């Protein structure tokens, strides 16, 4: 039953919130620019965190950071459990990554972005106790066809059939890591091509779920927090995401069990995020397949962002031109 009580509706994130959040990702991306290619990923991350935290403080919502800079980054701000926003408005879970791809930024490589994902309070899986997750992401054609428990070759062939294209034209995105050597070999043995990513499997997953890219599938072991954030975007795109938590040690596994996490269990979009009212916003730091990076064009700073909203099933691109003097003077 749909409530007509406006007070009740106000408790949930609405479309206006997404546009407010873009200001925070734009700020983080712009502040990271001086550090692109300078070799100091920590300085880039700090500048982005400071900017995002400042702008989030002005937003009308009561956000709790479920996925933040985290324990492994020893973050002083945007840490797990921190409240952000001005405390007025909807109560939300929030996942933040001021720079997804700090190493990419430091090296001056493509595909670094700033991102925020939001869902109703209490609906995001808190997977922070287990850093890694085996993941597979596809477009909607993979639903009921692809299963992360199947060999990769079977999944590629099944998805190719669903897409109506030969296996030889399939492209699978995977992080270029030593742990994926056998996976990469198996993908190529199946007859598909690979798109090796240096970092940033969130963007890889989003591109796999979209129909206007060359990527058909994104697979491999990556960050479990990033898997939850990706799920917020996949819900808006109508795609498929599956994940199985991948603890690195017995101690990590026990911490996960103590936190109520399930192992040898396939998490899907609805169990990674138990809400159909999700948002995902991202702004490019450096140029990438998903969004262009920040560009200084004379007196203008240009940013490109995407805004995905699950409730309406929309993806919007936001091109903004910021007056460089005013922005840099007044933040």
Please report, in tens digits, the pLDDT of each residue of the chain (331 residues total). Answer: 233 333 444 456 666 788 889 999 999 999 999 999 999 999 999 999 999 999 999 998 999 999 887 544 455 678 888 999 988 889 999 999 999 999 999 999 999 999 999 999 999 999 888 999 999 999 999 999 999 999 999 999 999 999 999 999 999 999 999 999 999 999 999 999 999 998 888 999 999 999 889 999 999 999 998 999 999 999 999 999 999 999 999 999 999 999 999 999 999 999 999 999 999 999 999 999 899 999 999 999 999 999 999 998 999 999 999 999 876 654 4
CATH for 132-272, options being 3.40.50.2020, 3.40.50.300, 3.40.190.90, 3.60.15.10: 3.40.190.90
Are 74 and 65 in contact by the 8 Å Cβ rule? The answer is no
Q: Which residue positions form the known binding site?
A: 45, 69, 97, 100-102, 132, 177-179, 199-201, 223, 226
DSSP structural state of residue 34: G
Are 304 and 282 in contact by the 8 Å Cβ rule? The answer is no
Please name the residue that has the structure tokens 């100091």: 40
**Domain 16-124+277-326 falls in which CATH fold?**
Fructose-1,6-Bisphosphatase; Chain A, domain 1 (3.30.540)
Q: Which residue positions form the known binding site for substrate?
A: 100-102, 132, 177-179, 199-201, 223
Q: Which residue positions form the known binding site for Mn(2+)?
A: 45, 69, 97, 100, 226
Distance, in Å, from the CA atom of 78 to the CA atom of 49, rounded to the nearest integer, reads: 7
In our burial notation (b when 16+ CB lie closer than 10 A, e otherwise), range 300-315 reads ebebbbbbbbbbeeeb
Distance, in Å, from the CA atom of 152 to the CA atom of 136, rounded to the nearest integer, reads: 10
Q: For the whole model, what pTM was predicted?
A: 0.90
Q: What confidence tens digit (pLDDT) does each residue in 253-282 have?
A: 999 999 999 999 999 999 999 999 999 999
Is residue 14 exposed (0-12), middle (13-18) or buried (19+ Cβ within 10 Å)? middle
- Domain chopping of the chain, boundaries: 16-124+277-326, 132-272
């Amino acid at each position: 039953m749909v409530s007509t009580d406006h007070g009740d509706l106000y408790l949930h994130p609405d479309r206006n919130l997404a546009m407010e959040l873009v200001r925070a990702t734009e700020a983080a991306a712009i502040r990271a620019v001086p550090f692109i290619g300078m070799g100091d990923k920590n300085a880039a991350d700090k500048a982005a965190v400071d900017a995002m935290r400042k702008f989030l403080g002005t937003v009308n919502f009561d956000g709790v950071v479920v996925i933040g800079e985290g324990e492994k980054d020893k973050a002083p701000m945007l840490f797990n459990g921190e409240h952000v926003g001005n405390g007025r408005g909807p109560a939300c879970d929030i996942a933040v990554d001021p720079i997804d791809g700090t190493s990419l930024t430091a090296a001056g490589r493509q595909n670094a972005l700033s991102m925020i994902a939001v869902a109703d309070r209490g609906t995001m899986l808190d997977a922070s106790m287990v850093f890694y997750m085996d993941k597979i992401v596809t477009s909607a054609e993979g639903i009921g066809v692809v299963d992360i428990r199947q060999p990769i070759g079977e999944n590629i062939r099944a998805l190719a059939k669903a897409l109506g294209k030969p296996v030889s034209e399939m492209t699978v995105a995977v992080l270029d890591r030593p742990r994926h050597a056998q996976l990469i070999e198996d993908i190529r043995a199946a007859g598909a091509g690979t798109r090796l990513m240096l970092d940033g499997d969130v963007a890889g997953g989003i591109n796999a779920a979209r129909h206007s890219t060359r990527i058909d599938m994104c697979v491999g072991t990556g960050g479990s927090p990033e898997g939850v954030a990706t799920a917020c975007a996949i819900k808006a795109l109508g795609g498929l995401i599956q994940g199985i938590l991948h603890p690195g040690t017995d101690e990590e596994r026990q911490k996960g069990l103590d936190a109520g996490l399930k192992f040898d269990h396939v998490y899907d979009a609805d169990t990674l995020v138990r809400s159909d009212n999700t948002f995902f916003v991202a702004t490019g730091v450096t140029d990438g397949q998903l969004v262009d990076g920040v560009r200084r064009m004379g007196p203008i700073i240009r940013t490109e962002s995407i805004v995905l909203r699950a409730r309406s099933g929309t993806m919007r691109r936001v091109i903004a031109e910021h007056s460089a003097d005013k922005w840099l003077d007044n933040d």
